[in-house]
Amino acid sequence: MPLAPQCDIPWDNNNLLCNTNKIDDHYSSENDSDVSLSTAIDTATVSNATTKAKAMTSEIEITEIAKEGEKADPSQFELLSMIGQGSFGKVLLVKKIHGRDTGQLFAMKILKKATLKVRDRYRTKMERDILARFCHPFIVRLHYAFQTEGKLYLILDFLPGGDLFNRLSKEIMFTEDDVKFYLAEIALALGHLHSLGIAYRDLKPENVLLDADGHINLTDFGLSKESVEKNGKTYSFCGTVEYMAPEVVNRRGHTVAADWWSFGVLMYEMLTGDLPFHGSNRRETMSMILRAKLTMPQSLSVEAQQLLRALFKRNPTNRLGCSNDDVKSIKSHPFFGTINWEKLYRREVQPPFKPLCTPSNHTRCFDSEFTKKTPHG
């Protein structure tokens, strides 16, 4: 993928039905001051180190969450299977064996305090605080939060369909109708977060879970940022590089509009099976996000190409969703013209895919690398 001067979008204004696969744009961001890639990376490193040093003096604990007045503890859950594992924690499928919701399945996220860096403790607290604030049909629900002397626990919805990454890895790419459905539900979830002043900042297939019926749920709010007011900026360098908006990469400050760039990356990936910007290493990927031309597959519908163009604006003030209308402008785009948004919110629209889950095999849609391991609390 060749590099081009930094511009507002990676394409020109040629007709959508043109024969070429590469569409270039010669827009000059005259209102933007250049920040070199090296400066962006170096500044991020220094900033993270400084933040960590300042935070070392304080211990971050989570506040307990009790469901209907009932507090929980590890003894109330039977460990059934491991379904996920990260650098500082793991996720288990568990069954409640005591209390009001005896017999119900949950996902138990366990984090060892001794192995958590201060930054990770802060992110755990952030995730707990955000999840405790709301209940939305397309956002994973937090049922309990508690801790022992050595561990932190979050008890979340168990979503047996696994994540969108798992399905995408099997299907390679989805039909436009499938993509339209998933994006529409994701848009409602993002719009709800933004209405509360929350920037999600880590949209990617691994963080989009499917429930038993095939509806999506956003999960993992450790990188989210609260109190991002309308047009207010935050300067954290965070997220998964391939999905980062240019203004996150160059550290000029970003708003909730950065989520709509990531939304575009996810859309492109689901439609084509490829990432729009992906280099051989992190630095090259970041450089591509800032300057690379992008191949626009002509097999996509006119409406899909138009939406991608509107989302991939390198100047965030020109990006669809950047205005005060936020998700309303996304919903009104012709690509979503066939979506009944009220029915979608009520979960009355049938998902394109229903996970093949059975009572005897709840973990069928999860990676066997994890499920074959013996679960330990």
- Say which DSSP state 10 is in: S
Q: Of 266, 245, 246, 300, which Cα lies nearest the Cα of 184?
A: 266
- Given a contact cutoff of 8 angstroms between Cβ atoms, the answer to whether 152 and 113 are in contact is yes
DSSP string for residues in 94-127: EEE-SSTTTT-EEEEEEEEGGG--HHHHHHHHHH
Local mean pLDDT, 10-residue blocks, the chain (377 residues)? 44 32 26 41 40 37 62 93 82 92 94 80 82 90 92 94 91 94 98 92 95 95 78 79 94 91 98 95 94 90 97 94 92 98 98 83 81 78
Domains of the chain: 74-160+358-371 (3.30.200.20), 164-345 (1.10.510.10)
Q: Which residues contact 48 (CB under 8 A, 6 or more apart)?
A: 119, 237
Of the listed 207, 250, 255, 285, which one is catalytic? 207
- Say which DSSP state 225 is in: B
pLDDT at residue 32, rounded to an integer: 36
Q: Tell me whether residue 109 is annotated as binding.
A: yes
**Taking the CA of residue 303 as centre, how many other CA atoms within 13 Å lie in the half-sphere pointing to its CB?**
13
- Given a contact cutoff of 8 angstroms between Cβ atoms, the answer to whether 235 and 279 are in contact is no
Q: Tell me the whole-structure pTM to 2 decimals.
A: 0.81
240 noted as active-site residue = yes
204 noted as active-site residue = yes
Of the listed 8, 163, 220, 259, which one is catalytic? 220
- Say which DSSP state 325 is in: T
Helices (H), the chain: 37-55, 118-131, 164-171, 176-195, 246-249, 257-272, 282-291, 302-311, 327-331, 341-345, 368-371
202 noted as active-site residue = yes
Q: Give the Cβ contact number of residue 297 at 10 Å.
A: 14
Q: At what angle do helices 176-195 and 257-272 cross, to 10 degrees?
A: 170
- Given a contact cutoff of 8 angstroms between Cβ atoms, the answer to whether 88 and 220 are in contact is no
Q: Which residue has the tokens 């191949």?
A: 295
- Given a contact cutoff of 8 angstroms between Cβ atoms, the answer to whether 6 and 34 are in contact is yes
- Given a contact cutoff of 8 angstroms between Cβ atoms, the answer to whether 82 and 370 are in contact is yes
pLDDT at residue 2, rounded to an integer: 41
- Given a contact cutoff of 8 angstroms between Cβ atoms, the answer to whether 357 and 160 are in contact is yes
pLDDT at residue 20, rounded to an integer: 27
Of the listed 204, 225, 293, 313, which one is catalytic? 204
* CA–CA distance, 115 with 99 (Å, rounded to integer): 31
pLDDT at residue 142, rounded to an integer: 93
Q: Which residues contact 216 (CB under 8 A, 6 or more apart)?
A: 138, 164, 182, 185, 186, 189, 208, 209, 210
* CA–CA distance, 250 with 264 (Å, rounded to integer): 19
pLDDT at residue 25, rounded to an integer: 28
Q: Which residues contact 3 (CB under 8 A, 6 or more apart)?
A: 287, 288, 291, 292, 293
* CA–CA distance, 377 with 368 (Å, rounded to integer): 19
Of the listed 43, 48, 240, 317, which one is catalytic? 240
- Given a contact cutoff of 8 angstroms between Cβ atoms, the answer to whether 278 and 243 are in contact is no
Query: Strand 142-147 to strand 105-112: parallel, antiparallel, or no bridges (unpaired)?
Result: unpaired
Of the listed 25, 202, 211, 259, which one is catalytic? 202
Reduced to 3 states (helix: H, G, I; strand: E, B; else coil), residue 318 is: helix
